[in-house]
Amino acid sequence: MELFANQVLAGIATGAIYACMALAVVMIYQAIDHLNFAQGEMAMFSTFVSWQLMQWGVPYWGAFVLTVAFSFAAGIVIERLLFKPLAKAPILTNVAGFIALYAIINSVAGLIWDFTIKQYPTPFGSSPFLGSQLISTHQAGMIGITLLMLVLLFFFFRFTRVGLAMRAAASLPESARLVGINTSWMIALGWGMASAIGSIAGMMIAPVVFLEPNMMLGVLIYGFAAAVLGGLTSPFGAVMGGFLVGIFENLVGTYIPGVGNELKLPIALALIIVVLVVKPAGLFGRAIVKRV
């Protein structure tokens, strides 16, 4: 029983990584109805920016704030320049666009900062948290930040005019336009926010997985799995999905023999497919009803 409890705790710690990423994935899905395959790379690039700022002597939290602001602006710029013209194009064209963006960001980051693995600092320290060996203070801090972001997002969407306008633009674009909401800019705002959340996720994840241009691929797949499990329409679901996926991954690794790190990605694959087939709306998402 103690083993079980420990594994669940360790699962929550890894789950925090996926929860961060899933939150960014859900944000962009809410705004544009697409899964951004370049999301992980955007987060990676932001993390490198913050690393570079720290190399130049900016203190951690200064770099943190500057990076989030930079990512927010960069997200909006990318949307305005590259994806606004594609808004009416078929889904296929958009997917191709995401892939092109992925290739560009990955390659540029590799050129600027090369492919060697870098240490990334944590503001929370890495001593054991509350005397537990399984969860470090950094992981506890990461869980805290994730939950904080979730609460802030909840208040933003629930109680501010802009949040309400964004929800309106996402659910009924025509009607939203009729009451004077600039839906096009709401989408840009969604990109900016997703990019900013992604950058926070990147900065939280980097101390665990280390900083390098390909650090996000596995995390992104698990972030997708978490978002799908929690429901692509629910930020709360995405965070819960992240923790559940982390716990699930750890328990499977502990109790099913022969399943180790080498099966990490196939587990995510199986999870995504099972959820999409059994409960496509996810645990906390709204079921999508299509008008025929």
Partner 1 sequence: MSAAEEVEVVTEGQAVEAVPKRAMTLGYGTSLVVLAALILIPLFVKNFIIFQMTMLLIYGLAVMALNILTGGSGQFSLGQSAFYAVGAYTSAILMEHAGMNYALTLPIAGIVCFGFGFLFGQPALRLSGVYLALATFALATAMPQLLKLGYFEHWTGGVQGLVVTKPDAPFGLPLSQDMWLYYFTLVVTIAIYIASVNLLRSRSGRAFMAIRDNEIAASAMGVDVALYKTLAFGVSAGITGVAGGLGAIAVQFVAPDGYTIQLAISLFLGMVVGGVGWLPGSIVGSAFIIFVPNIAEGISKGLSGAVFGVLLFLVIFLVPHGARQVAIVAQQLAAKLKKN
Q: Which stretches of the chain bind partner 1, using CB under 8 A?
A: 33-35, 37, 82, 85-86, 88-93, 95-97, 99-104, 106-108, 110-111, 217, 221, 224-225, 228, 258, 262-266, 268-269, 272-273, 276-277, 280, 292
Nearest Cα residue to 200 out of 110, 113, 109, 71: 71
Nearest distance, CB of residue 149 and partner 1, angstroms: 23
Question: Measured between alpha carbons, how far is 260 from 6 in angstroms, rounded to an integer?
Answer: 17
CA distance readout (Å), 178 to 130, 159, 165, 169, 175: 54, 22, 12, 11, 5
CA distance readout (Å), 223 to 75, 90, 265: 19, 25, 12
Q: Cβ closer to partner 1: 165 or 228?
A: 228
Q: Cβ closer to partner 1: 33 or 182?
A: 33
Q: Cβ closer to partner 1: 189 or 228?
A: 228
Nearest distance, CB of residue 217 and partner 1, angstroms: 7
User: What type of residue sits at position 262?
Assistant: E
Q: Cβ closer to partner 1: 121 or 173?
A: 173
Q: Cβ closer to partner 1: 102 or 124?
A: 102
Nearest distance, CB of residue 179 and partner 1, angstroms: 21
CA distance readout (Å), 132 to 4, 6, 128, 254: 15, 9, 6, 19
Nearest distance, CB of residue 154 and partner 1, angstroms: 25
Residues 6+ apart with CB under 8 A from 86: 93, 94, 97
Nearest distance, CB of residue 92 and partner 1, angstroms: 6
Question: Measured between alpha carbons, how far is 181 from 72 in angstroms, rounded to an integer?
Answer: 21
